[in-house]
Amino acid sequence: MIWNPNKECMPREQLRELQGKRLQKLVAYVYHNVPFYRHKMQEMDLMPEDIRSIDDIVKLPFTTKQDLRDNYPYGLMAAPKSEVVRVHASSGTTGNPTIVGYTRKDLAVWSEVMSRCLSAYGVTREDTFSVSYGYGLFTGGLGAHYGVENLGATVIPASTGNTEKHVRLIRDLHITGIACTPSYALYLAETVDKMGIDKNELSLRIGAFGAEPWTEHMRQEIQERLGLKAYNLYGLSEIMGPGVSCECEEQNGSHIQEDHFYPEIINPETLAPLPYGQQGELVFTTLTKEGMPLLRYRTKDLTSLMPGICPCGRTSVRMTPIMGRSDDMLIIRGINVFPSQVESVILSMKEFEPRYMLVVDRVNNLDTLQVQVEVRRDYFSDDIASMLNLKKLLSDKLKSVLSISADVKLMEPNSIQRSQGKSQRVIDKRTFLTDNE
């Protein structure tokens, strides 16, 4: 179902016009209310009147995570303190957390976009939906929670932790949908197995997964193991939280809620805007936010915008799955490596669990990459020859995809640490080296 056809299926020209109007209003608002933006615009000799349509967005300054840190905690807030009704923080995956503030209207927009996402997955008022993102400062829990309520389905605020109890609730309350990280979904599946429960005893049919990159193979794995359809849910606290974009029934790219969040793709080195279809860094401008609106925020997430209109009827542009963040990218012996590339290889082989860890180090001035991966119980054996064969098979595949050789370390089932929120899949010992130097 389409939650808000007026907005989600708006003809493109009309949408561009609306975006232009909203942008003009936004620029005047931040110019007058956020000294940081006023100074930046003054340096560029730019007045709010210079922004006349959405095409003028390229004239505006970028905002970076560092700008948010420099203005910690409330420096970029545009609304007066009395209007701010909630505060969240980013998870701090890549450093100190940053703070965001929401007005009542911001929260209403957030619920609206989350409800659009849930509707796109096929959630209805009849569904019972478990929110298993962490509740708290992280936007995942409360963001998804109010979206479910706003849609009118029943929300089970399970959060993370206590996974066996959660599995029993899923069974006993006939929970039909779940929102969590893809790695937690896998952990749930493992727990279901461990408890001797058959997935057919559960009524799960829809999963809304995000907060970390995941591959198509991971989708297949989760769908198979939990007996549901797995959809992508994307968002980030600086822009709003979950609900910035989501897949529809086509499961082919995530629709961006473009009337609220204007996307651009730029070349992260030159900062030049890139056309649809080309991969680069995703940049968002919050067109309607009041609390902490941002101009051209550089997400560091690498993706591309898809040309063409989706068969579902929504006219909003879609983004391809996030390949990783620019700062997830490892440079090993001069070659760029993304953890998601390793994931694709591992998950394409039936012998391995979708559990892996990359350990990067520097030995005698040479970068080394070790890939630790769990072997499935059925394939794990004491027979050294067969284990060596398996190791070679994976090394060869990794080499052909990554163009560098990796040292494969086969691990017993259940030996790599499980995560309930965003998983950590890289240990880069080289950063510790330089820190100590």
Residues found near Zn ion in the complex (CB under 5 A): 248, 250, 310, 312, 314
d(CA 394, CA 150) in angstroms, rounded, equals: 47
Nearer to ligand ADP, 92 or 313 (CB): 92
Give the rounded distance of the alpha carbon of 337 from its chain centre: 19
Residue 222 touches ligand ADP, criterion: CB under 6 A = no
Residue 236 touches ligand ADP, criterion: CB under 6 A = yes
Q: Is 92 exposed, middle or buried (0-12, 13-18, 19+ CB in 10 A)?
A: exposed
Residue 112 touches ligand ADP, criterion: CB under 6 A = no
Beta-ladder partners of 273: 266
Contact 135, 145 (CB under 8 A): yes
Residue among 3, 102, 234, 338 that touches ligand ADP (CB under 6 A): 234
d(CA 29, CA 292) in angstroms, rounded, equals: 11
Residue 90 touches ligand ADP, criterion: CB under 6 A = yes
Give the total of residues touching ligand ADP (CB under 6 A). 20
Q: How far is the CB of 114 from Zn ion (least distance, A)?
A: 17
Evaluate the omega torsion of the peptide bond into residue 413 and state whether it is cis, within 30 degrees of 0.
Answer: no
Q: How far is the CB of 138 from ligand ADP (least distance, A)?
A: 6
Nearer to Zn ion, 121 or 209 (CB): 121
d(CA 206, CA 117) in angstroms, rounded, equals: 12
The one segment of 24-32, 116-124, 161-169, 207-215 that binds ligand ADP by CB under 6 A: 207-215
Residue 106 touches ligand ADP, criterion: CB under 6 A = no
Q: How far is the CB of 170 from ligand ADP (least distance, A)?
A: 22
Q: How far is the CB of 119 from ligand ADP (least distance, A)?
A: 18
The amino acid sitting at 41 is M
> Quick one: what does residue 248 bind among ligand ADP, Zn ion, none, with the CB cut-off 5 to 8 Å set by partner type?
Zn ion
The one segment of 17-25, 89-97, 170-178, 223-231 that binds ligand ADP by CB under 6 A: 89-97
Nearest to residue 284, comparing CAs of 301, 267, 307? Answer: 301
d(CA 356, CA 346) in angstroms, rounded, equals: 8
Residues in the chain: 437
Q: How far is the CB of 311 from Zn ion (least distance, A)?
A: 7
Residue 136 touches ligand ADP, criterion: CB under 6 A = no
Which positions from 261 through 320 interact with ligand ADP, judged by CB under 6 A?
Answer: 299, 301
User: SS3 string of 35-86?
Assistant: HHHHHHHHHCCCCHHHCCCHHHHHHCCCECHHHHHHCCCCCCCCCCHHHEEE
Q: How far is the CB of 349 from ligand ADP (least distance, A)?
A: 23
The DSSP string of 350-373 is TTEEEEEEEEEEEETTEEEEEEEE
Q: How far is the CB of 319 from ligand ADP (least distance, A)?
A: 10
Give me the 380-419 binding string for ligand ADP, x by CB under 6 A, dash otherwise. ----------------------------------------
Contact 355, 230 (CB under 8 A): no
Residue 217 touches ligand ADP, criterion: CB under 6 A = no
Residue among 210, 253, 263, 293 that touches ligand ADP (CB under 6 A): 210
The DSSP string of 134-168 is PPSSSHHHHHHHHHHHHHTPEEE---SS-HHHHHH
The one segment of 170-178, 186-194, 211-219, 304-312 that binds ligand ADP by CB under 6 A: 211-219
| Residues lying near ligand ADP in the complex (CB under 6 A) | 90-93, 138-139, 210-213, 232-237, 299, 301, 322, 325
